[in-house]
Amino acid sequence: MDRRTFMQKSAVSMATLQLGGIIALSPKTEATEIQLLQAEKTLAQNIKSVEKVPSVCLNCSTVCGMNVLVKDGKILGVEGNPLDPNSQGKLCAKAHGGVAAVDYPERIVYPLKRVGKRGDGLWQRISMDEAYAMIATRIKKNLDAGEPEKVALHFGRNKMGDITNRFMNAIGSPVILNHRGLCSSNKRAANYTTIGDTSWETVDAVNCKYFLNFGSNFFETHQGGLPLLKRFVKARNNGAKLVTFDVRLSNTAGRSDEWFAPFPSTEGAVALAMAHVIVKKGLYDENFIKEWSNTSLEEIQIFLKPYTPQYASKLSGIDEKDIIRIATEFASCAPACAAFTNRGSQAHQNGLNNDRAVIMLNALVGSIGQKGGYTFGGSKNKGNTSFPMPKPIPPKPGFTTDLEDPRLYPLANKWQKMRVSHLVFDKLKNTNQKLDVYLSYTISAPQTWPEGPTLTVETLKDEEMIGFHACSDVVYSEMAHYADLILPDATYFERYTLEGRNAYELVPYFALRQPAVNPPYDCENFADTLIKIAKRLGKPVAQYFDFDSYEEFIKLRLDTLPRREGLSGFEYMKKYGVWVEDKEKNYESYNKVLSPEKLKDSFIKDGIIYSKKGKAIGIMQNGVAKRGFKTPSRKFEIYSSTISQTAKALQIKDDGFPHFEMPKSLKEISEHEFVLTTFKWNVHTQARTAPQKYLSEIIHDNPVWINTTTAKKLKIKNGDIVEITSYRPKSGFRASLHNEVVGSMKIKAFVTQGIHPKVVAVSNSLGMNYGGRVPKASNGRKKETIGFSAYEDLDLRGNIWWDKSKGGTGNGFNPNTLIPINPAPLVGMQAWNDTICTIHKV
Ligand SMILES: Nc1nc2c(c(=O)[nH]1)N[C@H]1C(S)=C(S)[C@@H](COP(=O)(O)OP(=O)(O)OC[C@H]3O[C@@H](n4cnc5c(=O)[nH]c(N)nc54)[C@H](O)[C@@H]3O)O[C@H]1N2
Ligand SMILES: Nc1nc2c(c(=O)[nH]1)N[C@H]1C(S)=C(S)[C@@H](COP(=O)(O)OP(=O)(O)OC[C@H]3O[C@@H](n4cnc5c(=O)[nH]c(N)nc54)[C@H](O)[C@@H]3O)O[C@H]1N2
Ligand code: SF4
Ligand SMILES: [Mo]
C-alpha cells in the first residue's frame, strides 16, 4: 500500500493498531477520534493515599533524587527525595514537567517497522519478538562475516553503560559512540590534565566565599546545577560573592553580584591575566606551589609574563581595573574561593586551555581540595570494583576504529570515553567507513548535532552509509523518523538504573532509579531489549547474559553491598533510593598519607610510589608517602607533559602550559561579522523536553538575541525577521579561508541589552519537525487527534495556544543548521561558540 492509499483508507491511533497494521507518523498524520479520559483527580485530593517510590529524575543529567507519587498504577506527581545528599529534597520545574512524558498520547507504544523508503514516515506494527529477531539476525550476519565493527551503538544520555558496554563487548565491536564530545570533553580533559582523577569539579559551595564563574549558567543548567545552586544560596546568605563571565545575560549572570560579557573565547586570557596579577602581587599560596605544583614559582612567573591585564583587556573588552580587582578579591578569600567553568568557556577551539587557565587560579591561591574551595573526588564509582558485575564478563575488543577513536584527536579517549561523535556522520558520508547495524538510544542527532538538520539527516537517510538503523525512543523523534525499526522504550519512571554523580557533600553516594509504574503496551527498557537480543545471538554472546532481566542484573550487583538494617543491598535501595557511605568529607584527598596496606610490596622510583604491578599510587613528600594527584607527576600539573607530547606528535603548537590563543575566525572577525553562539533554557533539556506539555507551554519560542546597539546599526527592530548566514571556521576541520557558507536561516529577532554587541545567540531544544503535537506546536484538525495511545489528553485538544494557526508564535527554531562541525584540537570537543555569521533584516 502506498502512502496516499493508506491515508485515504484509514486513520488510526497507535494503541488501537493491530499487529501488522500500518500507520503514518509523518507531520501530516491525522487519526480518528479516540476515547477521551476524564482528568485525574487532583494531586491534593489524592495525596493522602499515595505510594511514594524513591527513584531518580532524568529530565537532565543532574540526576536528583525524587519520590514518585503513585496511586492505582498512575503517577500523580513527584517530590524531592530528602535522603539524596546532592539535591537534598529539591527538584526543579523540569522534574515536575517530566511526568507528562509517561502519558503523552503520542508516545511510541509498539515496535514499528519501516514500510516504504527511509524517512517516508510510514510504519507497520510488529511484535517485540519480531523486533528482537530482526536485530539479532542482522547483527549475526556481521559477526559471521567477521566484521563486528560494522555494528555500532550510539547514545545520548545513557545511564546504563553497565549493560550497553557488556553487549557491545560481547559481540566484539568497539564502536560505541556517545555525545560527550558535543557536551563537556574539553572541560573534562582540563580536569584530568591538571588534577588527574576526576572529570568534574565539585565546588564546596556551602563554605565558599567567592564564586568566580567562567561560562556556567548554574541557576538554569550545568551538570549538577541544582545541588550547586542550593548550596550557593546558603553561601550567599553568609555573604559570598558571585562574579560571572557570560556573553549573555543568563539567569545566573543576572543574579550575580557582577556580570561581565567578554568577547567569546577570551575567558582563558582573562584567567591568565588574573593569575598574572595574583603572582605579581604575591597573593599566591607559596606552600601549595612548593609542595604540590609540578612547576616552580619562577617557571610560573615566566610563562605568565606576557598575560598582563592590558593584554587580556584588549582581547576580551573587560576593563584592566576589573581584572586586577577581581583577581585580588578572589585571592583574598582563599582558600574559600573557587573559579570554575562550563560550556561558555570550554566549547571553543581553545576551550581546553581556557579551562586549564581557570583551574590553575585555584591552585595558585591554594583552594584545591580545601574547605570552601575547588574540591573534588567524592564520587562513588559505579563500576565493577564497587558493584561487581555478574560473571563471566566479556573482554573488551582488542582493536579500535577511527569512527569511535579518531586518530586526529588522541586525547578524546585517553582518560574516559569522550569520543568525537560530531564527526561520525561526516565520516560515514565522506570516508569508506560504513555501518551495517546502527543502534541508536536516547539521541536525537538531527536536532542536537552540529549540521544536524543537514549533513546528519542526509547520512541517516542513506542506506549505503547505514545499512540498518534501530532506534530506541519514547516519542517519534527526529531520530526515530530516520530509523528502519523503532523500539518503544520505558521512560525513566519505568526502569532501573544505578545512578549518582559528583558528590556535593564530598562523601561518596549513589542512588537507584526504579520503576514507579509498569511500562505500558509493548514498552520495554532498552536494557531488557538488549538482553533478549543477546540471548538470541547464541552462545558466544548469550553466555554473558545468563540473567533473566535488567532487574536481576541490578539486583546481583547491589546484593554485593553489605547488608544494612537487615536488608540486602537491593532491598535497601528499593526502600530508600540512596546509599551514602559512612565517611568523612573528602578534603585534600591528595594530602592523605598512604596506609601500610597500600604500601605493601610497593616500590619508589624518582619519588613516585608504584604498586607491585607497577601502577603509580602515590608520591614521597618530605619523606612521607602521600596519595598525591593522579597525574603523571602525582602533583597538580600546571605544565602537562601529556598535552605537550601529544601536541608535538601532531605538530600542533602547545608547550603544555595553559596558554592563550584566539581561534583564527574570531581573531580575524570583520566589522560586519558576528559570533553565533548557543545556550540552554532552564525549562528545557536538549532534545528530550519539547514533547512535555507544561515545559513547552512555558518556553516554545527562541528568537535570536541581538544587542540593542547592533540592532540599531542593522536597522533591526524587536520581532523583525532576520536572516542569519553562517560560515566555516578559518582553521581546523574543513577550514575555509573564503567564507564557505554552512547554512542560512530566517529567524525572529529579540533585541536586548543583555548580550555582547558582537554576539548573537539562539538556544537549542526547539524547532522540531516530529515528536507529536506539543513539540510541533500543532493542534491538529478540529475534533480529531493524532494521538497514538488509547486515550487522549484533554489538555492537548485545541489548547496549544502557541500554535501558529491560532495566532501563536509556533515552535521556534533549530540553530544547528547554522552551526558547523568544529572539533577543537587534541580533544575534539565541538566548538559550539565559535561560529562566524552575518545577519541582515529580511
Ligand atoms: N544548538 C545547540 N545544540 C546542542 C547544545 C546546545 O547548547 N546548543 N548542547 C549539546 C549538548 S551539551 C548535548 S549533551 C547534546 C545532547 O544531545 P542528545 O544526545 O541528542 O540529547 P539527549 O537528550 O540525550 O537525547 C534526546 C533523545 O532521547 C529521546 N529520549 C528521551 N527520553 C528517552 C528515554 O527514556 N528513552 C529513550 N530511548 N529515548 C529517550 C528523546 O526523545 C530524543 O530523541 O546536545 C548538544 N547540542
Ligand atoms: N535546564 C537544563 N539543564 C541542563 C541541561 C539542559 O539542557 N537544560 N543539559 C545538561 C547538560 S548535557 C549540560 S552540558 C549542561 C550545560 O550547562 P551550561 O554550560 O551551564 O549551559 P549552556 O547553556 O550550554 O552554556 C552556559 C552559558 O554559556 C554562555 N556562553 C555562550 N558562549 C559563550 C562564550 O563565548 N563565553 C562565555 N563566557 N559564555 C558563553 C551562554 O550564554 C550560557 O548562558 O547542563 C546540564 N543541565
Ligand atoms: S535539575 Fe535535572 S535531574 Fe534535577 S530535578 Fe531538575 S531536571 Fe531533574
Ligand atoms: Mo551536555
Q: What is the pLDDT of residue 32?
A: 40
Picking from 260, 251, 249, the residue whose alpha carbon sits closest to that of residue 232 is 251
CA atoms within 13 A on the CB side of 90: 14
Task: Report the SS3 class of residue 177.
Answer: strand
Q: Which residues contact 593 (CB under 8 A, 6 or more apart)?
A: 624, 625, 626, 627
Is pLDDT of 42 > 70?
A: no
Max CA-CA distance within the chain?
Answer: 85
Is pLDDT of 786 > 60?
A: no
Q: Which residues contact 493 (CB under 8 A, 6 or more apart)?
A: 55, 68, 75, 98, 99, 101, 102, 515, 516, 517
Residue 810 burial class via C-beta count within 10 angstroms: exposed 0-12, middle 13-18, buried 19 and up: middle
Q: List, in sequence order, every residue forming a beta bridge with 564; answer none if it has no partner.
A: 567
Q: What is the pLDDT of residue 798?
A: 82
Picking from 147, 613, 554, 162, the residue whose alpha carbon sits closest to that of residue 393 is 162
Is pLDDT of 377 > 50?
A: yes
Specify the ligand 3 atom closest to the Cα of 87: 4
| Average model confidence (pLDDT) across the chain | 93
Picking from 375, 373, 393, the residue whose alpha carbon sits closest to that of residue 383 is 393
Residue-wise pLDDT for 350-364, tens only, equals: 999 999 999 999 999
Is pLDDT of 787 > 60?
A: no
Q: List, in sequence order, every residue forming a beta bridge with 154; answer none if it has no partner.
A: 177, 440
- 191-195, 276-280, 408-412, 782-786: lowest mean pLDDT where? 782-786
Estimate to the nearest angstrom the gap between the alpha carbon of 818 and the chain centroid: 21
Strand 509-513 relative to strand 578-580, pairing: antiparallel
- 438-452, 759-773, 788-802, 828-842: lowest mean pLDDT where? 788-802
Is pLDDT of 8 > 50?
A: no
Is pLDDT of 785 > 70?
A: no
Show the ligand 2 pocket: residues with CB < 6 angstroms: 60-62, 94, 183-184, 214-217, 220-223, 225, 245-248, 250, 262, 264-265, 267, 342-345, 677, 679-680, 682, 684-686, 761, 833
Is pLDDT of 755 > 80?
A: yes
Residue-wise pLDDT for 379-398, tens only, equals: 788 888 889 999 999 999 99
Question: Are 133 and 122 a contacting pair, CB within 8 Å?
Answer: no
Share of the chain above pLDDT 90, in %: 88
Specify the ligand 1 atom closest to the Cα of 491: 35
Q: Which residues contact 173 (CB under 8 A, 6 or more apart)?
A: 148, 149, 150, 151, 152, 153, 397
Residue type, 521: Y
Show the ligand 3 pocket: residues with CB < 6 angstroms: 57, 59-60, 62-64, 87, 91-92, 94-95, 226
Task: Report the SS3 class of residue 823.
Answer: strand
Specify the ligand 3 atom closest to the Cα of 226: 1
Is pLDDT of 30 > 50?
A: no
- Angstrom distance (rounded) from CA 272 to CA 269: 5
Picking from 69, 369, 347, 58, the residue whose alpha carbon sits closest to that of residue 203 is 369
This prediction has a pTM of 0.96
- Angstrom distance (rounded) from CA 138 to CA 482: 18
Average pLDDT over residues 674-703: 97
- Angstrom distance (rounded) from CA 609 to CA 482: 53
| Cis before 335? omega within 30 | yes
Q: How many angstroms separate the alpha carbon of residue 71 from the centre of ligand 3?
A: 23
Q: How many angstroms separate the alpha carbon of residue 226 from the centre of ligand 3?
A: 7
Q: What is the pLDDT of residue 702?
A: 98
Is pLDDT of 789 > 60?
A: no
- Angstrom distance (rounded) from CA 565 to CA 385: 23
Is pLDDT of 213 > 90?
A: yes
DSSP assignment of 453-483, as one string?
IIIIHHHHH-TTTEEEEEEEESB--TTGGG-
- 236-250, 563-577, 679-693, 783-797: lowest mean pLDDT where? 783-797
Q: What is the pLDDT of residue 33?
A: 40
Is pLDDT of 762 > 50?
A: yes
Q: How confident is the model at residue 808 (pLDDT cuts 50, 70, 90)?
A: very high
Question: Are 260 and 245 a contacting pair, CB within 8 Å?
Answer: yes
Question: Are 213 and 245 a contacting pair, CB within 8 Å?
Answer: yes
Is pLDDT of 44 > 80?
A: no
Q: What is the pLDDT of residue 566?
A: 97
Residue-wise pLDDT for 554-612, tens only, equals: 999 999 999 999 999 999 999 999 999 999 999 999 999 999 999 999 999 999 999 99
Cell numbers linked to 519: 511500562
- 361-375, 630-644, 746-760, 774-788: lowest mean pLDDT where? 774-788
Strand 151-155 relative to strand 435-441, pairing: parallel
Residue-wise pLDDT for 410-446, tens only, equals: 999 999 999 999 999 999 999 999 999 999 999 999 9
Strands (E), 179-240: 210-214
Helices (DSSP H) in 593-670: which residue ranges?
A: 596-599, 641-649, 664-667
Residue whose C-alpha cell is 538531527:
446
Question: Are 377 and 197 a contacting pair, CB within 8 Å?
Answer: yes
Specify the ligand 1 atom closest to the Cα of 471: 38
Strand 608-610 relative to strand 616-621, pairing: antiparallel
Is pLDDT of 454 > 90?
A: yes
Residue-wise pLDDT for 627-652, tens only, equals: 999 999 999 999 999 999 999 999 99
Strands (E), 545-615: 578-580, 603-605, 608-610
Q: How many angstroms separate the alpha carbon of residue 94 from the centre of ligand 1?
A: 14
Is pLDDT of 10 > 60?
A: no
Residue 123 sits at φ, ψ, to 5 deg, of -135, 145
- Angstrom distance (rounded) from CA 627 to CA 400: 33
Q: What is the pLDDT of residue 2?
A: 53
Cell numbers linked to 397: 575488543
- Angstrom distance (rounded) from CA 270 to CA 354: 9
Average pLDDT over residues 189-198: 94
> Pocket of ligand 2, candidates 217, 267, 350, 355: which has the most ligand atoms within 8 Å of its Cβ, to mutate?
217
> Pocket of ligand 2, candidates 203, 680, 829: which has the most ligand atoms within 8 Å of its Cβ, to mutate?
680
Share of the chain above pLDDT 70, in %: 94
Q: How many angstroms separate the alpha carbon of residue 765 from the centre of ligand 1?
A: 8
Is pLDDT of 783 > 50?
A: no
Task: Report the SS3 class of residue 77.
Answer: strand
Residue type, 564: R
Is pLDDT of 6 > 80?
A: no
Show the ligand 1 pocket: residues with CB < 6 angstroms: 156-157, 179, 182-183, 441-444, 448, 472-475, 477, 479, 489, 491-492, 526, 678, 680, 686-688, 764, 815-816, 832
Is pLDDT of 493 > 80?
A: yes
Q: Going from the N-terminus, what domains does the chain have, and what CATH number goes with each?
A: 1-49 (no CATH), 112-183+381-580 (3.40.50.740), 203-365 (3.40.228.10), 589-649 (no CATH), 664-841 (2.40.40.20)
Residue-wise pLDDT for 107-142, tens only, equals: 999 999 999 999 999 999 999 999 999 999 999 999
CA 136 to each of CA 130, 525, 531, 620: distance values in angstroms, whole numbers, following the listed order: 10, 17, 11, 54
Q: How many angstroms separate the alpha carbon of residue 157 from the centre of ligand 1?
A: 7
- Angstrom distance (rounded) from CA 810 to CA 701: 7
